[in-house]
Amino acid sequence: MTQQRFDFASADLDRWVAALGPLLKTMELLPRGSPFDALIKSMISGRTRDAVSLAAYENLRGRFRSPAKLALASCDDIQRVIAEVTYPEIKAQWVTEALAKIAEERPDFDLGFLGRIPLDAALAWLERLPGVARKVAAATLNGSTLNRAVFIVDTHVLRVMQRLAFVGPREDMQSASEQVTAAAPGWSGDDFLELHVGMKRVGQLFCRPDIPHCTTCPLAFDCPSARRF
């Protein structure tokens, strides 16, 4: 992006955050957990309703009590606990393998160091883990107590950003995260989290993949796609 494009993009984001304000006021953000908790929760949440993945995460915490005990659990045991999420067998394998890799380097499972190293290095460290791509890595850094300034993009957010023409129709979650993060260099972690939560809810309620509800969408005023549906 040129500097002019960055200026336009930043203005777009500011305008959308303002438009999402009333929607955000109706929502209660979950309290931030440790980066380890955020990592596990995000790893098992893909393509699963929020209530289901949150319940599965709470079941894991209740069953295994600590990161060290979870790391000692068998893949089958983890799969049984998270059975209600989509693809539990794959996610259980990812969790098992990721925890084994973390244990080699961080046997105390304290991921606080990810808040003290450059953002690119923190993302890269996480993305070496099985089952961790940009969405999970960003959620670990931004959605946890680390509160790092990086934008989380899931399938709902990506769809909204594409229809708003902020990113191209063939962009992936990593590219979209990078573009939004770069467009708002002065934003805090809280700013990015609020935008993520608001955009995700727009994707869930209005900007549906099949038949979007453009007439009631709070971002329709600025959406070129709304004029086509």
Asked if 93 contacts 75 with a C-beta cutoff of 8 angstroms, the reply is yes
Prediction pTM value: 0.95
Instruction: Give every residue of the chain whose pLDDT is below 70, as ranges.
Output: 1-8
Which residue, of 132, 165, 185, is where some domain finishes? 132
Asked if 137 contacts 126 with a C-beta cutoff of 8 angstroms, the reply is yes
pLDDT for the residue numbered 229: 73
pLDDT for the residue numbered 4: 44
For residue 199, the tally of other CB atoms under 10 A from its CB is 29
Alpha-carbon span 133 to 174, nearest angstrom:
8
pLDDT for the residue numbered 6: 52
pLDDT for the residue numbered 7: 58
Same domain, 124 and 194: no
Alpha-carbon span 141 to 115, nearest angstrom:
7
Tell me how many domains the chain contains: 2
**Greatest distance between any 2 Cα atoms in the chain:** 54
Same domain, 41 and 127: yes
